[in-house]
């Protein structure tokens, strides 16, 4: 039960922050969902950094890692919004933004996880 509460609290916090960032940045950039893009790349970095730091130094307990990774990062990042935005690009015939958004999201997401792991080795 404790683990469910930790995931709930982390997920709620991540979701609120995602909402605020998406609301701020998605409305300011026409034809590109910058807010969703940012939370997904930042979330990838954070999960790589948290797991890397935790594995290296045994810095976090299992419950703390669960709160931050499954909870916070899971609530913060959003694949479903990403997929919906991709569908909007396709529906509007905007194949250029569809391709750029898909490619950069995936590549930068993977690079952010790798960078997070790498950076965690410095601590």
Do the domain assignments include residue 1?
no
For 94, phi then psi, to 5°, come to -90, 75
pLDDT tens column, 69-102 = 999 999 999 999 999 999 999 999 999 999 999 9
Structural domain containing residue 68: 45-123
Do the domain assignments include residue 33?
no
Positions at the binding site for Na(+): 74, 77
Do the domain assignments include residue 21?
no
Q: What is the 3-state secondary structure (H, E, C) of 66-123?
A: HHHHHHHHHHHCCHHHHHHHHHHHHHCCCHHHHHHHHHHHHHHHHHHHHHHHHHHCCC
Do the domain assignments include residue 10?
no
Please give the pLDDT value at position 29: 67
pLDDT tens column, 7-20 = 999 999 999 999 99
Distance between CA atoms of residues 38 and 68, nearest Å: 18
Positions at the binding site: 74, 77
pLDDT tens column, 49-70 = 999 988 888 888 999 999 999 9
The total of structural domains in the chain comes to 1
Do the domain assignments include residue 6?
no
């Amino acid at each position: 039960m404790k683990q469910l509460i930790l995931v709930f609290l982390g997920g709620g916090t991540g979701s609120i922050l995602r909402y605020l960032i998406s609301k701020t940045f998605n409305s300011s950039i026409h034809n590109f969902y910058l807010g969703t893009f940012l939370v997904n790349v930042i979330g990838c970095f954070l999960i790589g950094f948290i797991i890397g730091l935790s594995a290296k130094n045994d810095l976090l307990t299992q419950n703390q890692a669960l709160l931050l990774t499954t909870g916070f990062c899971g609530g913060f990042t959003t694949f479903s919004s990403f997929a919906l935005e991709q569908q909007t690009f396709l529906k509007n015939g905007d194949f250029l933004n569809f391709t750029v958004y898909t490619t950069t999201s995936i590549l930068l997401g993977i690079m952010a996880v790798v960078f997070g792991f790498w950076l965690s080795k410095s601590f």
